[in-house]
Chains A and B, each alone.
Chain A
Amino acid sequence: MTLPMEPGQVLFWAQVIASVSVVLASLEWLAAAPLMGPRGVLQWEVLRSRYTFLYEGPAARLVHPVLRYPAALAVPGVRAVAAGALLALPGLEGAGAAALAGVVAVTSVLMFVRSPYSMDGADQMTVLTFATLSLVHASGHPWVREAGIWFIAIQGALSYSIAGWAKASARDWRNGRYLAQIMATRIYGAPALARFLGDHPRLAALAAWSVILWESTFILVFFLPEPAVAAYLLLGLFFHVHTALAMGLNTFFWSFVAAYPPIYYAASRSHAWLGGLLGS
């Protein structure tokens, strides 16, 4: 099997797609600024009492001026600018790229430090991706670059498979009931889809099993031939478009699809190694 891309290209595309996610998520945070304001539910004075180190001591003196309102709005602001710069300067490498990716990683972590409430899997994927990109850019060593690609690829594949295994362990996931019930909620649901799945329990079970099978077997991409890997990734695109449309999980699309170039590359490498092993 020929490798689809050079490692540099793989990381470039991962960075481009993940940067779109960061710009989008950061602008959404700024649009939702009242949430962090004096009449919002994410009150820093309460949230900082979660940990002693956020309330007193050197770390508190460092983060309090940054995370209190309205200064905290600069965190998604700086994050958006750094990710935007990575998009605007596609040829940037070395220390400059490491610094910008590092700013995105650190500001993403600061959002978690400010409040774990409202953060989601897309935000977690962003932290993983940009911390890795920053370290890889800073190192520049081809082995570290390869390790960074594998790290993002394995985390991406694990995210699907672990979710699939957890779903497979629950009877009401297997019979489709949970899927119909999620679609019936106001926060993640869609009334028309909820009614349809409620009226057609067999189709609900079929849809749930499709998700369970695709997710739980995703980790196998590292052992499958190229067409099968491409099929898994195409199903992933379909899955994320669907969850964005039906559930409003828009940033999940960008955050997780950013792992697809590394997954495709790592799967190709793995398959080539396995082919070599079996052939020798």
Chain B
Amino acid sequence: MTLGSFDWAVLAVLGTWLLATLVSHVPTRRLRWIKDVDPFGLIPGWTFFAPKPATTDLHLLYRDRLDDGCCTEWREIPFAERRRLLHAVWNPGKRYRKALFDICMGLAESAIGSEHDPATMKLSIPYLLLLTYVGSVDHLPGARAVQFSVVTSFGMVSDREPEVLFLSEFHGL
């Protein structure tokens, strides 16, 4: 049974896909572009929780500036819920938690990174997503502007004080 042109094309696709997977995992910055040019999520990242896993919790907080110029207390938008046995089978909440975690982590990483530039930071996707999100939650009557912050804490069994990773400007509501 000879291979037709479609069969050859399938073999070429699978071979190229496997090769791209292998090459993208070579630990060098020079090959990082392979992931960057993949908007479709086709090249998998198989380095789960390694080499440096997320060992801290992230928290998203916001506060309002009111008509009179005073600021409200910081309020946290919770995104971690207590683990339940049911989550081993049915866990829709993980989408919300991971989305917020990934976005906060993306913002924190670019804030810490050498490419940090306050002007361009405000145009980054994580910044805009978080700003839109904190703008959409409930605010006090008279709130004129909102500011948000990403804070890291050091796990459920640590008494180390949380640290601020990122603090936004105030933005009009």
Contact = CB atoms under 8 A, between A and B. Distances in A.
Do they bind each other?
yes
Interface stretch (A144-152, A220-228, A272-280): A144-152
A181 B155 contact: yes
Could you say which interface size class chain A belongs to?
35 or more
Interface string B69-105: 0000000000110010101111111111111111100
Interface in B15-57: 17-18, 21-22, 25, 39-42, 44-57
Interface in B81-140: 83, 85, 87-103, 106, 125, 128-130, 132-133, 136-137
B147 to A, nearest CB: 17
B51 A124 contact: no
A138 B14 CA distance: 14
A118 B102 contact: yes
B18 A191 contact: no
A245 B88 contact: yes
Nearest to B94: A248
Contacts of B132: 43, 46
A29 B95 contact: yes
Q: Describe A's contact surface by its main secondary structure.
A: helix
Contact of B50 (A125, A128, A170): A170
A67 B125 CA distance: 17
Given A42-B129, A167-B51, A178-B55, A198 B91 contact: no
A273 to B, nearest CB: 19
A135 B13 contact: yes
Nearest to A24: B90
Contact of A163 (B50, B83, B93, B128): B50
Contacts, number: 217
B125 A128 contact: no
B96 A166 contact: no
A138 B6 contact: yes
B46 A250 contact: no
Contact of A41 (B40, B56, B99): B99
B68 interface: no
Contact of B129 (A41, A141, A142, A160): A41
Contacts of B133: 39-41, 43
A169 interface: yes
Contacts of B6: 138-139
A115 interface: yes
A109 interface: yes
Interface of B: 1, 3-4, 6-7, 10-11, 13-14, 17-18, 21-22, 25, 39-42, 44-57, 79-80, 83, 85, 87-103, 106, 125, 128-130, 132-133, 136-137, 154-158
29 contacts: A27-B92, A28-B91, A28-B95, A42-B129, A46-B132, A47-B129, A51-B39, A109-B41, A112-B40, A117-B102, A118-B99, A124-B45, A127-B42, A139-B10, A141-B1, A144-B11, A163-B47, A163-B48, A167-B50, A169-B50, A187-B54, A187-B80, A187-B101, A189-B155, A241-B88, A248-B83, A249-B94, A250-B87, A250-B88
Given A181-B155, A187-B80, 9 more contacts: A46-B129, A118-B102, A128-B17, A141-B1, A159-B44, A170-B50, A181-B53, A187-B101, A250-B89
